[in-house]
Amino acid sequence: MVKSHYCVYDCETGGLFEKENPITQFACVILDYATLKEIDRFETYVKPYNDLKIEQAALDHTMVTMSDIKKKGIDVEDFVEALDKFLKNYNASKKKPEMGRLVPVGQNVTFDNRFLTYAFKLCKKSWKECVQDNFIDTYPLAKLSWGIKGDEKLNLGANCERAKITITDAHGAMNDVEATAELLRFFAKKLRSKKGDSSETSTRKSGVEFFEFKCIK
């Protein structure tokens, strides 16, 4: 499991609901499990499918145009087939195949997973067979790092600003992916800084004492 690579990805969509709105653009990068350096990337526009509606408000928000979708987009069946093959090409060799699958990474990644699950199921394939069930979401990592008062903005742009990461053309799929990958490296650097060692030692209470709390007056 340690040698499983990371897959950072982002979907631009025609709305907020996977059963009503389609994926309009997808992008991802594969990062090396140890160095977090980019190994490969994949991106495409996707043509409308299954009579799902692309809302104008979504186009305005994501900066995807109908012209791009019609001229550069591919059918959903071709999208799913190509992405499935691309991702599985980077699975690590393991006795248990599921442990060698890519570790999914994204900003609010459960949103993207809903749309990908729907599209894959529509094409009689499984999104879960491409990536591990466990995932890394940069949103809760940002909440742990910067969500002190409870009213902080924790979207991708705000998180990158705090981490001093330059983000251009926010909401373009590949631009968001590159920014999220940099954010992952930012958090990984902090986590790896002590290489698993701690300069402080603490004694963990056991038994009944563990459940005794002191109220601050």
The DSSP line for the chain is -TT--EEEEEEEESSS-TTTS-EEEEEEEEE-TTT--EEEEEEEEE---TT----HHHHHHH---HHHHHHHEE-HHHHHHHHHHHHHTTPPP-SSGGGGSBEEEETTHHHHHHHHHHHHHHTT--GGGTB-S--EEHHHHHHHHH-SSS----SHHHHHHHTT----STT-HHHHHHHHHHHHHHHHHHHHTTTT--SS--PPP-GGGGG------
Give the pLDDT confidence of 20-42 residue by residue, as tens digits. Answer: 999 999 999 999 999 999 999 99
Dist CA 35 CA 38 (whole Å): 9
Residue 214 lies in a domain: no
104's tokens: 């999914």
Residue 148 lies in a domain: no
Angle between helices 173-192 and 138-146 (to 10 degrees): 50
What per-residue confidence (pLDDT) applies to 211? 52
What per-residue confidence (pLDDT) applies to 192? 87
Residue 211 lies in a domain: no
Residue 58 lies in a domain: yes
Residue 43 lies in a domain: yes
CATH of the domain at 39: 3.30.420.10
- Per-residue confidence of the chain (217 residues) as pLDDT tens digits? 578 999 999 999 999 999 999 999 999 999 999 999 999 999 999 999 999 999 999 999 888 999 999 999 999 999 999 999 999 999 987 667 777 899 999 999 999 999 999 999 999 999 999 999 999 999 999 999 998 888 999 999 999 999 999 877 666 899 999 999 999 999 999 988 866 565 555 565 666 565 565 555 5
Q: Looking at the 3D structure of the chain, how many domains does it have?
A: 1
Residue 189 lies in a domain: no
Residue 101 lies in a domain: yes
Domain that includes residue 11, residue range: 6-137
Residue 179 lies in a domain: no
